[in-house]
Amino acid sequence: MSTITEGLQEIKTLLKRIEKKRSFIRGYLWRQNQIRDPHDKDGGSHILIKKERQAIQDLENNIINIKRQIDTANAITEITICGETKTIAEWLIWRRELATNRKRFLESIQSTVQSARTQAAQKGIQVVDTASKAGDVDVIVNIDERLLAEEIEQMEEILSKLDGQLSLKNATVKIKY
């Protein structure tokens, strides 16, 4: 049993080994007929190339196995951040595919409202939060700015805590490969 962090490090090691084997193969793909095969005593370069290609395939299968074990662990291990519980897999999807755009969207809403406030102030127009308080020329803000600020703050808190929690889980969750 190893941790996810150790599994990820093992993948890096295996990838380096694969690249060395590929480099070896490239170095012995051909030779002129009059030059002696440097691997005659081991059955010849063609045999060694075949063995190295099989070894590469075995190493690639090891990487697949480790990644599968990590994926399985991530699918069942939960993390709770700011009262929100998701599996590691779900948090990773959220961070990679959703969080950046969501944060930008929230910040653009905040910026747009602030810009409207600034423009209104320059024109001497009042900014209000409900139509019932508004006069004919007043600007109505259709979002609770306090809640928006809290949502942005919570988003930043989640993102900062998430990296720490992922590192902690990677260092403690066990996988078998």
Q: Do 63 and 84 fall into the same domain?
A: no
What is the DSSP code (8-state) at residue 176? -
177 within a domain of the structure (yes/no): no
Instruction: Output the pLDDT for position 138.
Output: 78
Which of 22, 50, 76 corresponds to the end of one domain?
Answer: 76
How confident is the model at residue 135, as a pLDDT? 65
Band (pLDDT 50/70/90 cuts) for residue 157 is very high
In this structure, is the dihedral angle defined by the CA atoms of residues 29, 31, 33 and 36, taken in order, positive or negative? Answer: negative
pLDDT reported for residue 161: 97
Integer Cα distance of 72 and 136 in angstroms: 60
Q: Establish if 90 belongs to a structural domain.
A: yes
Does 99 lie in the same domain as 157? yes
Q: How many domains does the chain have?
A: 2
Note whether residue 131 is domain-resident.
yes
**Are 39 and 56 members of one domain?**
yes
9-28: average pLDDT: 98
Q: Six-digit token pair at 77?
A: 């291990």
Pairing of the two strands 127-128 and 174-175: unpaired
Are 37 and 91 in a shared domain? no
Asked if pLDDT for residue 16 goes beyond 60, the answer is yes
Say if 103 falls within a structural domain: yes
> Within this chain, do residues 115 and 151 fall inside the same structural domain, yes or no?
yes
Q: Of 44, 76, 108, at which residue does a domain stop?
A: 76
* Better-scored residue on pLDDT, 41 or 128: 41
Q: Are residues 121 and 161 in the same domain?
A: yes
Q: Strand, helix or coil at 124?
A: coil
Q: Return the SS3 of 85.
A: strand
pLDDT tens readout for residues 129-143:
765 665 666 788 899
- Neighbouring-strand partners of residue 85: 80
Question: Is the domain of 9 the same as that of 31?
Answer: yes
Does this model's pTM top 0.85? Answer: no
Quote the pLDDT of residue 129. 75
Q: What is the domain range of residue 153?
A: 79-172
